[in-house]
Amino acid sequence: MTKIAFVFPGQGAQAVGMGKDVYEALPESRAVFDKADEVLGFPLSRLVFEGPDSELKQTVNTQPALVTASTAYLEALRSSGITPDYVAGHSLGEYSALVAAGVLAYEDAVRLVRLRGQFMEEAVPGGQGAMAAVLGADRAALAELCRSISAAGHSVELANVNCPGQIVVSGTAAGVAEAAERVKEAGGKRAIPLEVSGPFHSSLMKGAAERLAAELEKVQFNAPQVPVIANVTAAPVTDPDAIRSLLVEQVYSPVLWQDSVERLIAEGVDTFVEIGSGSVLSGLIRKIDRNVKVVNINSLESARAGL
């Protein structure tokens, strides 16, 4: 018996034009974009469809744009009758997953991630924080290297454990630069600096997390219709209050994506459906386990084709 997980991408997956095909073809997907424009009080849909890319890339815009596009594709897929047994999302994608599981109303999610993006951008002055993708390193050795650099005064931490051989580090610009120089000590091949506006998923984001916590308290969280695999724990969570508090922790904690996918497979999931722009998660999932089926829903055509 097939078990299905719906998974949703995070920042970096955005592209000008995403969702336009379902917006133009399906009233239910159009309503998703129209609702975002209404809730946010500006034409997000125009920015998503027309760009410029430089503006779409700003965290404060990227986050609501991706949740909107993912939800629009989710609506397009609903007509196929495919339902998930589990949901998960990568970082920001966790909000799309919570919409899919009925935990958050879509309009609340869009408003929250706009604020989340703002708080994350404002948490650390520009240029003081950085992130880099480390390729080929041993996870435990890289964590130890980060600890020793941090102990010496330049904070750097694991931010995203994406798949075997791909781990993102985050912290002060000096800490990330030193980790990048020393990746070979952890068995790594090289480090690639990421184009981001802050040191996301590091302890430098605790101020942003506190501000977000106050906003999350104002929003209704429902019991999920299917279990959500949380980024912070890589474990299923079904209690609404626990989900809320994990979203606060998620801002300054590592995204355990590899662990989350491995947990889903251990729970019997054999089909992963990535819903939203791009195919980043599909690539990561294939690197974690080549035996599972991976399907991309990132166009009108793929939504109509289903599984």
Spans of all domains in the chain: 4-123+204-305, 129-196
Q: How far is CA 287 from CA 261, 283, 294, in A?
A: 11, 6, 11
Report how far residue 153's alpha carbon sits from residue 180's, in angstroms, rounded to the nearest whole number. 16
Give the mean model confidence (pLDDT) for residues 120-141: 95
Which position among 91, 170, 253, 277 bears the catalytic label?
91
Is 201 one of the annotated active-site residues of the chain? yes
Instruction: Say if pTM beats, i.e. exceeds, 0.85.
Output: yes
- Give residue 176's pLDDT band: very low, low, confident or very high (50, 70, 90): very high
pLDDT in tens, 240-261: 999 999 999 999 999 999 999 9
Give the mean model confidence (pLDDT) for residues 210-223: 98
Q: Which residues of 139-150 are buried (b: 16+ CB within 10 A; e: fewer)?
A: beebbebbeebb
pLDDT at site 197: 81
For residue 306, is pLDDT > 90? no
pLDDT at site 1: 86
CATH of the structural domain 4-123+204-305, one choice from 3.90.380.10, 2.60.40.10, 3.40.366.10, 1.10.8.60: 3.40.366.10
Give the mean model confidence (pLDDT) for residues 158-174: 97
For residue 200, is pLDDT > 90? yes
For residue 126, is pLDDT > 90? no
Tally Cβ neighbours within 10 Å of residue 265: 18
pLDDT in tens, 225-244: 999 999 999 999 999 999 99
For residue 196, is pLDDT > 90? no
pLDDT in tens, 24-34: 999 999 999 99
pLDDT at site 294: 98
pLDDT at site 195: 86
Which position among 197, 201, 260, 302 bears the catalytic label?
201
For residue 46, is pLDDT > 90? yes
For residue 17, is pLDDT > 90? yes
Fold of 129-196: Alpha-Beta Plaits (3.30.70)
For residue 79, is pLDDT > 90? no
